[in-house]
């Protein structure tokens, strides 16, 4: 027998869920009239465990709509028509219409900013550029912060200068080597090369008289 009203109340609270209440042993059941009632103290832990499991399942089911709302994006970010209208594809042009393959963009003259007059009346004195002036598509290598080009000499005179430096350096080194004075000392010699003091026969001895000059 189930506890009176327990299964029906649970079925009304959670549709589609049926609680099965096991019958208690006969020695734990007391009879009242013709009904058999399980003491509430025996069933309380089971009720708590079932309620906790059902509560966890319902909480997980309720979280799903929240996640869906968080990941929901409006049509202006997902609708293909809106995206195509805001970001249309580039028009296809022939090779004659677009020789530079840059969408028909007309580049200004390819002049590096460093060669512009640094004292000119520029709107942007640092970049040496006027307001609204179109820039070249290779502005990253033509701007004022691109690698500086040294034009004060060419390759021929530069090679002559480098060669002159090497020749002068080597000449000075050779002259110093040929005229450098000897050491103002003479290597010392020891009697018997200190063979006994340094460990006996076979040991590395010191310099003794009669050895070649170092």
Tokens of 39: 């003491």
Q: What is the pLDDT of residue 34?
A: 47
Q: What pLDDT is stored for residue 49 in this prediction?
A: 61
Q: CB under 8 Å, gap of 24 or more: what pairs does 142-149 form? A: 142/110, 142/111, 142/112, 142/113, 143/113, 144/113, 144/114, 146/112, 146/113, 148/114, 149/112, 149/114
Which of 194, 196, 189 minimizes the C-alpha distance to 210? 189
pLDDT of residue 203: 87
pLDDT score recorded for residue 65: 54
pLDDT for res 1: 47
Low-confidence stretches of the chain (pLDDT < 70) are 1-47, 49-72, 214
Q: Domains of the chain: which residue ranges?
A: 6-70, 107-160
pTM: 0.38
8 A C-beta contact, residue 50 and residue 22: no
How far apart are alpha carbons 16 and 18 in whole angstroms? 7
74-90: per-residue pLDDT in tens?
Answer: 777 778 888 888 888 87
Residue 123: per-residue pLDDT? 97
């Amino acid at each position: 027998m189930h506890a009176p009203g327990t299964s029906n109340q649970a079925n009304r609270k959670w549709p589609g869920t049926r609680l099965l209440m096991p019958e208690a042993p006969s020695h734990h059941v007391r009879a009242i009239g013709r009904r058999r009632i399980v003491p509430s103290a025996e069933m309380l832990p089971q009720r708590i465990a079932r309620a906790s499991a059902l509560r966890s399942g319902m909480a997980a089911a309720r979280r799903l709509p929240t996640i869906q709302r968080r990941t929901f994006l409006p049509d202006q970010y997902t609708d293909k028509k809106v995206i195509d209208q805001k970001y249309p594809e580039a028009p296809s042009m022939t090779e004659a219409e677009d020789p530079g393959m840059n969408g028909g963009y007309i580049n200004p003259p390819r002049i590096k900013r460093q060669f512009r007059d640094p004292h000119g009346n520029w709107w942007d004195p640092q970049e040496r550029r006027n307001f609204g002036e179109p820039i070249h598509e290779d502005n990253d290598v033509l701007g004022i912060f691109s690698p500086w080009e040294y034009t004060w000499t060419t390759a021929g005179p530069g090679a002559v200068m480098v060669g002159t430096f090497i020749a002068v350096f080597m000449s000075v080194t050779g002259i110093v080597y040929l005229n450098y004075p000897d050491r103002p000392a003479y290597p010392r010699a020891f009697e018997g090369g200190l063979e006994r003091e340094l460990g006996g026969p076979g040991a590395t001895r010191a310099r003794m008289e009669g050895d070649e000059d170092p």
